[in-house]
Amino acid sequence: MNYKATLYSEQFTDGKVSVELQLFHGDLLIARHDSGSVEFDLKNAKLVAGGFDNNMLYIYPDHNVTSPAILVQDLSLLKEISASSNEIVRQKAMQATGIQKKKKFNKIAGIILIIVFFSGLMSIAFTQSAGIIVKLIPVKWDEKIGELGYPSAIASMAPGSTKIEDKYVLQSIEEIKNRLSVSLKNTPFKYNITVLKSPVENAFALPGGKIVIFTGILLKVDSPEELAGILAHEIMHVEKRHAMKQIVSRMGLSVLFQVIVGDMADAGSVILEVGSELLSLGYSRNMETEADKEGIILLSNAGIPADGMIQFFKKMSENEKELKSMSWLLTHPLSEKRADELAKIYKKYPPLNVKKFSTNWKILKSHLK
Amino acid sequence: MKHTIKHNPSYALLDVELSPGESIQAEAGVMVYMSDDIHINSILGGGFLAAVLRKILGGESMFFNVFTAKEKPVNVGFAPDLAGDIFKLNVSDTPVVIQKGSYLCSETAVSLKTRFGGLKSFFSSEGVFLLEAGGSGSLYLSSYGGIVEVNVDGEYILDTGHMVAFEKTLDFTVSKTGGWKSTIFSGEGLTMRFKGHGKLWIQTRVPRGFISWLMRFLPS
């Protein structure tokens, strides 16, 4: 078989000439050009994979990598050499193939590293600036994302769960909610609570103010104050727009992309579309701490003792088995440090004008069964 | 298509004379002057995604401008941002890989694609993206300072930042100058080690050298 190649040698005016290559007996390479030919004995030759894309083969007559040299772009020559009957030649071909593969691998690894590096930089940049960006997003979008996210959140946590319509339960929870929301000054959000019948021991808030409580967690709670603590924490996630910040920081790139392409309306629709899926990602540690602190301040303003909430945490963490089954605690991990911090904040913000709730929790529980 | 390079090597300006129907494509923003009878069309450089990546990561323009003469011969002038030389290169069999800032303009028969330079390109301070010119035709590159053509025969070592373009038959790795001591104290830092055979074009000055000289005079 003939291969097109380039012969580099000082004897030519341009330093190189086009040649036709042919392999004889598996170890003798002959390069023919217009004014003669050159022979390379492959037993003494050096084979090197090269070129910017690593898809070329350099052949040198000995260990010296300066000219004369033959450059072949058709790598099927390397395959033909690998089939040589001479052991030394065969090994040289195999080595060159190995180097070529390794270099290709390095290239891919490099690409991945750079992508990781840049996406890391981007995500740091967006986490830092997410708060600023979120301020520019209208509150209406929170509600929209909450609405869009609701069905998928329910479907993933408690499929087929039904709404609780019991008046005593709903009124009791409404009372807690009202006490809390009256204490929220200038909130742009309207809170509405849905209670769903499901063994899932969880409660969560969607951006915009929709709060979902499963009966599973209501059965674990022993007083209205404990539930108020959980709700205060969830409400603060909404008030501080944590979900929106998460969405912005994680989606930063694609939003940026939309802005560059120039269609802001599109950026909005991307946020809405992907945003609802991203709700399940959870909050960062800092966000949890912020919701803890702000939650206790809210309880204090509402005249609800926060030790109910701390008590609930302690009660749950003492029973390790229960801790594992309790999904609200899984997403809100309780360490001793966190409990201490909660207690410290509580000391700083004791409840103002404590008022008891009218609910008898035992009666409420009986209504759930 | 006729061309003249004026005021080189320091403040080079490329003047291109286009016959009716002839076109030339250029990096956005390098046009200095042009005749009235010219049609300009903006195209995405190196494909859509590559153009977006160029914009985001490389800080370059997403577009190339194509200048076409309509009914009579016209002149267009191009110049890069920095002081330096402009040179013409004929692309034929071997594609040429170009450092991002050095591309000025080219005939439309020259195909351009943005390609990932990999980690080595990133560390050699040539940017993550490189431009690859294939096809056949004239390609005009600019340099900071003067331009030197080198025939690499086996191996060649170049300080980072000096690379303008090289033939694709060459490959390079980034390595330290000598031992760690000389890498840190010799002021030479990292170098590019070219391997293979082919042409390499280098610039005699590096923008970062000028910038660090300038920094000394800026109030902090």
Task: Say yes or no for a CB contact (<8 Å) between B169 and A69.
Answer: no
**Phi, psi values for residue A223, rounded to 5°:** -155, 160
Q: Are A147 and A208 in contact (CB under 8 A)?
A: yes
Torsion angle of the four alpha carbons A291, A293, A295, A296, in this order, in degrees rounded to the nearest 10: 160
Q: What is the ipTM of this complex?
A: 0.81
Characterise A214 by phi-psi region: left (phi > 0), alpha (psi -120 to 50), beta (else): beta
**Interface membership of A53 toward B (CB under 8 Å):** yes
Topology, domain A2-99: PH-domain like (2.30.29)
Q: How many CB pairs under 8 A join A and B?
A: 70
Nearest to A308 by CA among A342, A261, A263, A276: A342
pLDDT tens readout for residues B148-178: 999 999 999 998 889 999 999 999 888 776 6
- The confidence score (pLDDT) of residue A228 equals 92
Helix (H, G, I), strand (E, B) or coil at A289: helix
Architecture (CATH level 2) of domain B2-215 = 4-Layer Sandwich (3.60)
Task: Say yes or no for a CB contact (<8 Å) between B97 and A114.
Answer: no
- The confidence score (pLDDT) of residue B16 equals 96
**Interface membership of A105 toward B (CB under 8 Å):** no
Domain ranges of chain B: 2-215
How far apart are alpha carbons B94 and A6 in whole angstroms?
A: 11
Structure tokens at A126: 């967006």
**Interface membership of A125 toward B (CB under 8 Å):** no
Of the ranges A24-33, A78-87, A100-109, B134-143, which one carries the lowest mean pLDDT score?
A100-109
pLDDT tens readout for residues A165-194: 999 999 999 999 999 988 888 888 999 999
Domain ranges of chain A: 2-99, 137-368
Residue in chain A nearest B199 by alpha carbon = A15
How far apart are alpha carbons B98 and A185 in whole angstroms?
A: 60
CB half-sphere exposure, A226, CA atoms < 13 A: 15
If you search the block for the tokens 């494509």, which residue do you land on? B25
Rounded mean pLDDT, B10-24: 94
| Minimal CA separation from A51 to chain B, in Å | 4
* Vertex A101 angle, CA B95 and B175, to 5°: 70
Q: In B, which residues are within 8 Å of A107 by CB distance? A: 118
